[in-house]
Chain A
Amino acid sequence: MKRLWRFFPALPALMLSGCTVDLLQPAGPIGEGNRDMMVLEWAVMMCVVLPVIIATLVFAWKYRASNAKAEYLRNWSHSNKIEVFIWGVPILIILVLSGFNYWSTHYYDPYKPISKEMQVKVGAPNAKPLHVEVISLDWKWLFIYPDLGIATINELDVPTKTPLDFRITSDSVMTSFFIPQLGSQIYSMAGMETQLHLMASRPGNFQGEAAQYTGPGFSDMRFRTIAMPQEQFDAWVQNVRSGGNPLVVKEALDAQTYQKYHVPPAAPHDAAPKPAPVVYFSSVQAGLFENVVAKYNVGMTHDHHGKDMDEKAMDMHSESHAAAPSNTGM
């Protein structure tokens, strides 16, 4: 036992070695923005928090009752100078942070397409966005690539340095679509479409998760996000389309096949439901995503964005407050 203690000092180092702190080591411009804001705020706040903590300890020590040498002002309870200081400093700090708040909330707005600036920064200014439609199910994620005509379950393959335009909905309870290393998350809600724009600036295999509790299968409702260079991605798409990959399900993902995957696995009382395996679909029926959204809106077709969301529609979205496409009148 005693020998074990010798390793104790090494413990923090052990913990840090080879470990990814997802939010501090992001792999895309949005994640970097999230991190920068977090670190910036931490640094600014530390400027007051640290002095307050130190002052607390110093005052507590210095003015302890047994220290008769310290000055004692038994009726002192007001000072205009101090009042100005204690209101002024926090107001100044918060004003500064508010500026950053306004800027970053707009600049990194999840509804805003990846900016030219970010694209230039990763060195691929002309990459066309990849559209991905995300449907959260019990307890798995379905990713449809409408432009490529393929789909996957619990694995999201994307090219690097390409803007990713996600349209997100749920065909079950509400949850949140989140890839920590790529950045911002957005809720998925049945009958509604939400949007998210991310980009991977380097290849990698990132964890993806449901960040809002969804029931017994919640803990395993995870997916890998595999970012790879464009050529490799193209090869992967070919491979899925041609059915060359062992994970590929030959049948097309149409309304009927979809039903099979829509049913939640059994959730016994004494164990977690089995995690859903990764599946690739070599073809997908067009309009599946729209139908899933429309299902909850009394069958009305939901939005008119279609696949080629134009800039105007986008703007409308980021201006309007709610996540709801809300043209169905409910």
Chain B
Amino acid sequence: MLGKLTLSAIPYDVPILVGTFIGVAVIGIAVLAAVTYFKKWGYLWREWLTTVDHKKLAIMYVVLGLVMLVRGFADALMMRTQLALAYAGNPGYLPPHHYDQVFSAHGTIMIFFMAMVMMQALFNFVVPLQIGARDVAFPLINSISFYMTLVSAILINISLFIGEFSNVGWLGYPPISELQFNPGVGVDYYIWSVQISGIGTLLTGMNFLTTIIKLRAPGMKWMHIPVFTWTAFFACIMILTTFPVLTVSMALLALDRYVGMHFFTNDGGGSVMLYLNLIWSWGHPEVYILILPAFGVFSEIAATFSGKPLFGYATMVIATGIITFLGSIVWVHHFFTMGSGADVNTFFGIMTMFIAVPTGVKIFNWLFTMYKGRVRFEGPMHWIVGFMITFSIGGMTGVMMAMPAADWVIHNSLFLVAHFHNVIIGGVFFGYVAGLSYWFPKAFGFKMRDVWGKWAFRFWFVGFYLSFIPLYAVGLEGMTRRMNHYDNPNWHPWLLVACVGVFVLAAGVACQVIQFVFAAFDAVNRKPDAHDLTGDSWGSGRTLEWSIPSPVPHYNFARLPVIRGLDTFHIEKELGRPAPVADLEPIHMPKYSAVGPVLGACGLVIGFALVWHIWWAVIVGLVVAFFTVIHRSANLDVDFYVTVEEIRADEEAFAKRLAAARAAE
């Protein structure tokens, strides 16, 4: 009846997990009770859970991403404290059985459920607004994407309390991920949560690519597209070209594990080398999928806060394109140590090095955007300065690893771990956090408190160096990654410093939490002067999203904007806004739908049932999902019109606020 699931799958004998479970349960029950007490279930369901509005989906993505950041960070804290302790015979407090799950969960969660989630949040919020669209191309699919991501995040967290998680790292390398060496359910949790969230991401990629190609406001030529949207465009192309490879790799691994096939097993003709090639021909582009949008964010912020246009817009677009191309043909640099011939290694090594060219160009572009500008150091701008310093160092160590003769000794070492955190924290993470505070006022109509943002930055910046420079050092001292204990006295002091670093980072995370708590508080009791009256929250916005009210009306643009070139809003501020010619018209919008949450629930049931081999539940899930889709296809009542009265009322209110803002000046 319950497949492999028995009571013994519940780890009630592990105090850490029991404690965590109680914590999660208490918070969960408190939230549910609060929602019930304030009678908000109906509101939640009607306004949020069933939404197809890209802006609300973006906010839900952000919430998910932040929760997962805390989870992933808790894992990092455990790893760092374990390695500070587990020296010279002391086993530490996490035996390999747990430690190995912790680093696997940390990597998987940070990449798929923190970074990818934040990225999709930014796509959702920013892209339609920047191109003057009223929604994405496929609003319902957008909601389904979100639910696929959400339920796979839930699935991975269920593994904490029911069964176990994978112990073989974020990429699930065989043969150790095969049934022969890993008979438990951990790898299955990994496979299905990656698989389901992968579907969500693939749908997002398709959706936003279509949106950018088809839904740009009239007159927006390709070279009028704002840089963030360009980076989203290229990231979507890479999603479409590479996520299917991830899907296939996971599917083949699942076939090995579920029906005894031999794609990657040791015997029967399986080949690990095939898996390594497959997974990295997704995995390397994946890191560029993550970093390109961060580059986009930095480009927007640099221009806004320098009071100047982005330096070298065309160069920026071309460089992004080149990175997209090169990023797709360098995956072998992840296994120069597999014994490939020298010519193969040289080719992939040199291609990898060449990525440094367009990337370097971008750094110079931001530099020259600040040059002869009037740079205002509000919160978002802090992250970009921190980024340019940190990312340059990470890029340098990346080029070092692109030389096979050097990589042969730093491969799989903590030097590598330091390198990729250097680019991923200094680049991806700093970028997304900057983007979050940059577009926050657009979403909510007021700014987050900058002080806490700045402190968060300071702690993250210092904490990063404290945590990861030591890892470069121990890497050079020959320490490999994923170790659980050690007895090399040279490593110990460095790992102690890294442990101090992680607590500094914890202070950074705490500041961010405080910043959000204050934001929630301000949302209710904010002082009138904190309102963003004009919609141009930072006063120097250049792109379309700053031309409309904050928070943005659900239909985004009362009138479709007429594009007058790159940075239309800036042009309008300089030359004056043309009087609207056409009268307001009713706006055609999609209705909210329960299809997303229902399919999400099906996904969760199917994923969980597959992990535990509960076949009847898999079938039930599939059948319900199938009929939900059929029902939706037969449903013709899926849209409505926003009335002219409503739009006019919004317009008049906005005009009043603009006038008030002008009077206040």
Contact = CB atoms under 8 A, between A and B. Distances in A.
Partners in one complex: yes
Given A87-B361, A176-B337, A187-B335, A104 B404 contact: yes
Interface string A197-232: 000000000010111111111110000000000000
Nearest to A59: B370
B266 interface: yes
A72 B372 CA distance: 5
Given A22-B476, A296-B267, A77 B412 contact: no
A2 interface: no
B411 A176 contact: yes
Interface residues of B, number: 98
A310 interface: no
A29 to B, nearest CB: 12
Given A59-B371, A70-B372, A90-B356, A34 B409 contact: yes
B408 A34 contact: yes
Interface string B269-302: 1011100000000000000000000000000000
A53 B413 contact: no
B339 A323 contact: yes
A71 to B, nearest CB: 5
Interface string A10-43: 0100110001111110000001011101100110
B67 to A, nearest CB: 28
Given A86-B361, A322-B338, A324-B271, 18 more contacts: A21-B477, A37-B403, A53-B389, A63-B306, A73-B308, A76-B311, A78-B311, A79-B368, A86-B365, A90-B360, A98-B354, A101-B402, A178-B480, A190-B267, A194-B339, A213-B169, A268-B95, A318-B341
Ranked 3 nearest A-B pairs via Cβ: A323-B339, A180-B478, A184-B408
B267 A63 contact: no
A272 B100 CA distance: 11
B408 A183 contact: yes
Contacts of A318: 341-342
Contacts of B483: 218-219
Contact of B353 (A63, A94, A186, A330): A94
A87 to B, nearest CB: 6
B308 A76 contact: yes
Contacts of A41: 399-400, 403, 406
A106 B404 CA distance: 10
A83 B319 CA distance: 12
Interface stretch (B116-124, B390-398, B451-459, B651-659): B390-398
Contacts of A320: 341
B370 A184 contact: no
Contact of B181 (A34, A94, A215, A218): A215
Nearest to A94: B353
Contacts of B485: 219, 272
B403 A181 contact: no
Contacts of B408: 34, 108, 110, 183-185
Interface string B228-244: 00000000000000000
Contacts of A181: 478
B615 interface: no
Interface stretch (A44-52, A243-251, A301-309): A44-52
A45 B311 CA distance: 24
A319 B339 CA distance: 10
Contact of A46 (B167, B357, B396): B396
B392 A52 contact: yes
B375 interface: yes
A94 B354 contact: yes
Contact of A37 (B385, B396, B406): B406
Q: Which of B335, B371, B488 has the most CB of A within 10 A?
A: B371
A63 B410 contact: no
B497 to A, nearest CB: 9
B550 to A, nearest CB: 23
A64 to B, nearest CB: 5
A173 B175 contact: yes
A97 interface: yes
7 contacts: A53-B392, A76-B372, A94-B356, A209-B478, A216-B97, A267-B97, A323-B338
Interface string B472-489: 010111101111111011
Contacts of A102: 346, 350
A211 B96 CA distance: 16
Given A23-B410, A323-B273, A83 B339 contact: no
Interface string B64-79: 0000000000000000
A72 B342 CA distance: 52
B396 A105 contact: no
Contact of A65 (B356, B374, B493): B374
A100 B399 CA distance: 12
A34 B50 CA distance: 57
Contact of B367 (A14, A31, A52, A209): A52
B396 A272 contact: no
Given A213-B168, A272-B484, A318-B341, A330 B494 contact: no
Contacts of B368: 79, 82, 86
A115 B469 CA distance: 36
Nearest to B96: A216
A72 B346 CA distance: 46
A106 B273 contact: no
A269 interface: yes
Given A77-B308, A90-B361, A272-B485, A213 B176 contact: yes
A97 B399 contact: yes
A330 B307 contact: no
A218 B363 contact: no
A86 B339 contact: no
A72 B307 contact: yes
Nearest to B386: A56
Nearest to A100: B403
A60 B370 contact: yes
Contact of A21 (B176, B361, B476): B476
B372 A73 contact: yes
B623 interface: no
A191 interface: yes
B350 A15 contact: no
B396 A49 contact: yes
Interface string A83-99: 10111011101100110
Contacts of B431: none
Interface in B156-194: 167-169, 173-176, 181
A105 B409 contact: no
B493 A15 contact: yes
Nearest to A85: B364
A321 B335 CA distance: 12
B337 A184 contact: yes
Contacts of B389: 53, 56-57
